[in-house]
Chain A
Amino acid sequence: MSGLTGLTWMTSVKTGLLRLARGTGVLLICLYCPHQPLASETVNHADCLHCHEGIESINDNHRFPCAHCHLPPGERQANILTDHEKIVRNPSGPQQAEAFCGPCHKTEIEKVRTSLHSTMAGVINQTRFLWGAQDRPGPALYGLSGGLMPLPEAGPEIYPQSTAVLVDDFLRRRCLRCHIHTKGPAGPGIYRATGCAACHVLYDDDGLYKGKDAAIDRSKPGYPALHTFTAAIPNAQCLHCHNHNHVGADYEGLFEHDYHDAFRSPLMDGKPPAIRYGLDHHRLVRDVHGEKGLWCIDCHTRDHVMGDGHVYSFQMEVPKRPCTDCHGGFNEKGPDKTHPSIRKGADGLIFLSKNHGRQHRLPLFRSEGTGHQVEAHARVRCSACHAQWSFQDYGMSVMREDRIHDYKWLNLTMQGDPWLQEQLKACAKSPDTAYPMSTDYLSGRKRQGIWSVGWRFRRWELMPLGMDQADKYAILRPLYQYLVTYVDRGGNVVLDSAVPERGDGSGRGWAFMPYVPHTTAPFGRACVSCHMNPASAGQGIQDELTCDTALTVPSPPAIPGLRLLKPQEAGRLLLPPRRWHRERLKALR
């Protein structure tokens, strides 16, 4: 009896609560959508276009009802939808893509999961190796997808006493802000979606919606420019992630200003420069392809960007379309005529850009060009000569503080991450001691501690040389020269500018990596920019090196098989033979 009474009582309470909840919900919804009939007990969100009147059709290949993409399969058939929260904002998000996009794009999704865009294996494994957390940088062990081991969570029980323990936290809170699983910080230039939409749904730099959907607030940032899906992806979309001093930004001629507030310059009509990607930028000469209006996707095809099913360990080993596919090169027959963008024109070959189908005359490799006559240059990457400048960020000091004492970041809060900046600024307000929090970009949760970064000096004019995985001479950049500091919650300095040790015990965890600066000039740099140049030969920028200028002497790359110049190679570069001088004279006479 008492049991039955109890049950009845509980049921009645439940029903009451449900009614109350529904009532409140309706009230809230009514407040939110005042044109809904107030008297109605049920607000039907299934009639999407009632509110979202004027919304763009996503694209011609996806002429589906809204529910098809934005509701879980079980809810799609219902004619009535009372809970707006059931609507999936981004069906292509990493958690939803398989259910929503999967039925049609199974292979694409599987391949994307193996791509570096998704696994982030290069960043993760190299950094973990350099900080001593794993004994090899590749083949990749850890990654965010592609069957790789997930990156360990930095729990409160872990007391980081070495760089090997700290590295995962560093990756999670500093480096992995850019990946397709989570959104990362919000701010001008970095508004974007996750999953497929990270690339295929375009966001403007201001993050504002520019379409005709009546329900979307056009003054509130964080929305795609239009409700459309596209494969014609302009550079600005790539740069939502490929910014800071990394490839992508260089293609557009962007080089970050130094962090200190004294570099917020110049004033234009009395206003400080626009902040994009969390910082302001120098504008350097753009890549000639960029000048002509070519898009990233003109060279970077679907397989490079979305994966080919193979799990790669670092960027340079991903097969890409080389320069020679379009331009020809040493011992090459000429352009790849099967290239979908190459056409025959009246006066030679034409390149058809994905940027609105614009046509460009395709200049070909001239074997009579000075640099091209040198046989030994067949082993030199095109970019090693044709890059006009490169990212040379020397000496990376990083500090994790669980407690900030004696505030020092006042003029150094701008480090290219608006969330971090907000946190550091908030700490500046507390007079003595602050216990900062910052966001783990993988879990999306905030944790105690914050990572700040500073450099020794950043340059664009230096271009040291090394050898890449294809046995070609390439430009090196520092990635990175770490000095790691950790201050715990008690204010104890656990690590004091510690130099990490590589995981295989082979030396300090500093590395220079070969890369392809996207700063192509239509002609090569002068011979003497590499030959007879100690900085290019890896000997540093001054005769007597100090603790600071010694940073311009490269450390070996993190990946085996990639290397610095051997002493005899550096010697030949510095003291070229008489024949070399003769060739140069011919070119310059």
Chain B
Amino acid sequence: MGDILGMCITHSIASGMGGARTAGDLVARVQMARGMKTKDAKKYVADKLKVSVLDLTDSTVMTVVREELGLGCVAQLPGHPKGMEAKFNIAKLLDIEINSVNKFKQKTGMFTPASA
């Protein structure tokens, strides 16, 4: 976005997808992993989550979806996946490689990813 103090909050409310409050981080991950334009990345994520594109920025719908699928939420709910645990589920559900997840698997001897 750019510099500097508090400006990101305004962008987030004016035009942003909402990050982990909604599905912004998931759409970003698909764009980053597959180089998709945002419109295509939104459709890809919506299809994977079995929701509409409009649902992706609805925090009420997405909180339920994220809890059900174990994708992590902004609220750190007891017993629910958080941090790295949630990223394991995100990589699997979206069918993308997440570098830190692959590194975790390598370091813990779970298995070596094909792309490593």
Q: Do A and B form a real pair? A: no
Which residues of B are at the interface with A, using a C-beta cutoff of 8 A?
none
Which residues of A are at the interface with B, using a C-beta cutoff of 8 A?
none
